[in-house]
């Protein structure tokens, strides 16, 4: 789950004032004096770093970097820095990649196998603060073979390994002589991608220019600016005024542009769930009966209809209902009667105010949600309302991530999760007990041996049917022992000026804004005739 850092009024004023002046009303096109080959997108947050060594761009589509492979529009894998898909031998234990010839980094240095080896070994080094390291747990060794090959040796056959090699490649000559956690490469990146970072005004905007040394076709969009505008309403206002070419918007605001003939709305389905973490260390949320009652009490359908205006799906677990990996028997209706019975049987009895208690402890807890996020706020308030009907008192409280992070061990959080490509990608980090409390991994410190075993099986076996059975087990266990309350899978909505062709959407992960979105392939956009 990404941090969404909330800055003060001064930073917001800077984003509204300085960025507006710098953008020169790009959304109005050449008529307003802006270059026709410039695009300005309004997004709600910015990354802490631009270094893949610390996790930036790990799921692909970074504009600055390329991986050995990349995702196409349908999330299939295609060659990028590799000349072809990998050669897989030794029963799935060895992956050999041949590098594309003639690729240069943006500083003019050539791409070599040593750069690939450096990138993966640095990410795997425990001294590197990369919370996604577990995603490469299967890698035993990576080495160069000759002038154009890289060989990965795995500890066990890991069926979705090729999808992990969308990880962006970092040049050893630029990043190798510094601490990956604190070095200048984090804000001064050098890559092989279609764009280079031109400037970064923290809390305001990032500007990217077309990379003249890019190995692919030269982009028609020469300048790409990501304006950091945290407030949803302000993003919509700036889009409407022509100060932005496009923006990420919640459903209610995106709907206000439906009749705007100069702009087009794009909808991307996603794995991105809105989910309540239920910390096991909390004496209320750690009680299995409380968790089961909450799971039965929530009205997911109403949340989709009223909060998302239909732009999403009910979430009965981490895997969306329309995904091939969604398990049989996992979909379930709201059942307040069941919620009350579960609590009665566990000794949680209603008090005079309707709130239950057991052994002198009230069934009450705090639910934190990030300030300024209207969609999460609405989910939190709806969740609290549903919980009260079962006799559980949930207090929704807004806070900055600086306040939320140290409290995640004890307090529930209205979180966002979801990774695309393979069930292992999102489920392992969210549920496996070995990652309990590891940053935003397994935030609730969920610990279920049957789930751990199934996750390990899904990660280590090759047979598709065996993998499906493993992830079916995970989903069934979450019904009986829910460490989280999964609420909705949200659609991502984008509104953009209708000035280009070639825009498409992918099914997206939780992370979206800088890489995911219709601009995932901005280097392929063509101006409309």
**525: helix, strand or coil:** coil
Q: What CATH number does residue 70 fall under? A: 3.90.76.10
Q: What CATH number does residue 404 fall under? A: 3.10.105.10
Residues 264 and 386 in one domain: no
**264: helix, strand or coil:** strand
Residues 354 and 284 in one domain: yes
Q: 191 lies in a domain?
A: no
Residues 299 and 420 in one domain: yes
Cα 81 from Cα 359, distance rounded (Å) = 62
Residues 387 and 455 in one domain: yes
Cα 414 from Cα 151, distance rounded (Å) = 41
Residues 253 and 368 in one domain: no
Q: How many domains does the chain have?
A: 3
Q: In the chain, what is the greatest distance between 2 CA atoms, to the nearest angstrom?
A: 76
Residues 67 and 130 in one domain: yes
Cα 292 from Cα 303, distance rounded (Å) = 19
Residues 301 and 358 in one domain: yes
- Quick one: which of 366, 343, 367, 368 has its CA closest to 354? 343
Q: 65 lies in a domain?
A: yes
Q: 240 lies in a domain?
A: yes
Residues 240 and 367 in one domain: no
Question: In three state form, how does the secondary structure of 490-505 look?
Answer: ECEEEEEECCEECCCC
- What is the pLDDT tens value at each position of the chain, 529 positions in all? 433 333 333 333 333 333 333 333 333 333 333 577 999 999 988 889 999 999 999 888 889 999 999 999 888 999 999 999 999 999 999 999 999 999 999 999 999 999 999 999 999 999 999 988 888 999 999 999 999 999 999 999 998 999 999 999 999 999 999 999 999 999 999 999 999 999 999 999 999 999 999 999 999 999 999 999 988 899 999 999 999 999 999 998 999 999 999 999 999 999 999 999 999 999 999 999 999 999 999 999 999 999 999 999 999 999 999 999 999 999 999 999 999 999 999 999 999 999 999 999 999 999 999 998 889 999 999 999 999 999 999 999 999 999 999 999 999 999 999 988 799 988 999 999 999 988 888 999 999 999 999 999 999 998 999 999 999 999 999 999 999 999 999 999 999 999 999 999 989 888 876 668 888 999 999 999 7
- Entry pTM: 0.84
Residues 475 and 507 in one domain: no
Q: 309 lies in a domain?
A: yes
- With beta carbons less than 8 A apart as the criterion, state whether 211 and 195 touch: yes
Q: What CATH number does residue 512 fall under? A: 3.40.190.10
Length of the chain: 529
Residues 63 and 38 in one domain: no
Q: Write out the residue range of the structural domain in which residue 142 sits.
A: 58-175
Burial classification of residue 114, based on how many CB atoms lie within 10 Å of its CB (0-12 exposed, 13-18 middle, 19 or more buried)? middle
Q: Which are the contacts of 9, defined by CB distance < 8 A and separation ≥ 6?
A: none
Q: 104 lies in a domain?
A: yes
- Quick one: which of 468, 92, 414 has its CA closest to 276? 414
Residues 294 and 264 in one domain: no
Q: Which are the contacts of 379, defined by CB distance < 8 A and separation ≥ 6?
A: 274, 303, 307, 369, 414, 487, 488
Q: 180 lies in a domain?
A: no
Could you tell me the CA-to-CA distances from 92 to 50, 95, 145, 152 in Å, in that order? Answer: 32, 7, 18, 10
Residues 29 and 80 in one domain: no
In angstroms, how far is CA 275 from the centroid of its own chain? 13
Q: 3 lies in a domain?
A: no
Q: 182 lies in a domain?
A: no
Question: In three state form, how does the secondary structure of 374-402 look?
Answer: HHHHHHHHHHHHHHHHCCCEEEEEEECHH
Side-by-side strand order, sheet with 492-497: 195-201, 205-210, 223-228, 38-43, 246-249, 492-497, 263-268
């Amino acid at each position: 789950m990404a941090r969404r850092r909330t800055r003060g009024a001064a930073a917001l004023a800077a984003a509204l004032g300085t960025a507006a002046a710098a953008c020169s009303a790009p959304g109005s096109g050449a008529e307003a004096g802006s270059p026709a080959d410039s695009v300005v997108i309004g997004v709600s947050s910015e990354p802490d770093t631009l270094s893949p060594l610390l996790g930036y761009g790990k799921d692909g589509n970074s504009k600055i970097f390329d991986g050995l492979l990349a995702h196409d529009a349908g999330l299939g894998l295609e060659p990028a820095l590799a000349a072809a898909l990998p050669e897989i031998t030794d029963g799935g234990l060895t992956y050999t990649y041949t590098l594309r010839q003639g690729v240069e980094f943006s500083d003019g240095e050539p791409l070599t196998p040593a750069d690939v080896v450096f990138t993966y070994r640095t990410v795997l080094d425990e001294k590197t603060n990369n919370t996604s390291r577990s995603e490469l747990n299967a890698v035993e060794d990576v080495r160069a073979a000759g002038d154009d090959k890289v060989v990965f040796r795995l500890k066990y056959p890991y069926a979705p390994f090729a999808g992990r090699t969308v990880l962006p490649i970092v040049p050893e000559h630029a990043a190798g002589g510094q601490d990956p956690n604190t070095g200048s490469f984090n804000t001064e990146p050098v890559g092989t991608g279609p764009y280079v970072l031109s400037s970064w005004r923290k809390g305001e905007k990032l500007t990217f220019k077309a990379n003249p040394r890019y190995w692919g076709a030269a982009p028609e969009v020469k300048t790409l600016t990501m304006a950091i505008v945290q407030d949803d309403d302000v993003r919509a206002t700036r889009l409407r005024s022509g100060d932005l070419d496009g923006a990420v918007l919640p459903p209610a605001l995106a709907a206000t542009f439906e009749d705007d003939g100069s702009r087009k709305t794009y909808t991307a389905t996603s794995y991105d769930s809105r989910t309540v973490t239920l910390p096991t260390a909390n004496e209320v949320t750690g009680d299995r009966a409380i968790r089961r009652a909450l799971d039965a009490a929530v009205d997911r359908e109403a949340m989709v209809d009223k909060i998302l205006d239909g732009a999403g799906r009910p979430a009965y677990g981490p895997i969306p209902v329309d995904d091939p990996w969604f398990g049989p028997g996992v979909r379930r209706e709201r059942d307040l009667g069941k919620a009350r019975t579960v609590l009665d049987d566990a000794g949680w009895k209603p008090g005079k105010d309707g709130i239950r208690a057991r052994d002198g402890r009230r069934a009450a807890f705090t639910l934190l949600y990030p300030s300024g996020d209207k969609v999460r706020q609405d989910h939190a308030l709806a969740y609290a309302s549903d919980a009260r009907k079962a006799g559980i008192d949930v207090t929704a409280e807004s806070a900055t991530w600086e306040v939320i992070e140290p409290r995640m061990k004890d307090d529930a959080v209205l979180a966002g999760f979801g990774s695309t490509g393979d069930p292992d990608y999102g489920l392992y980090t969210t549920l496996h007990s070995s990652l309990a409390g590891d940053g935003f991994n397994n935030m609730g410190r969920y610990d279920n041996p049957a789930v751990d075993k199934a996750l390990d099986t899904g990660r280590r076996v090759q047979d598709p049917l065996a993998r499906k059975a493993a992830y079916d087990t995970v989903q069934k266990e979450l019904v009986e022992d829910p460490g989280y309350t999964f609420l909705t899978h949200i659609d991502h909505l984008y509104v953009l000026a209708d000035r280009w062709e070639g825009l498409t959407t992918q099914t997206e992960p939780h992370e979206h804004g800088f890489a995911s979105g219709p601009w995932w392939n901005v280097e392929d956009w063509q101006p409309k005739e």
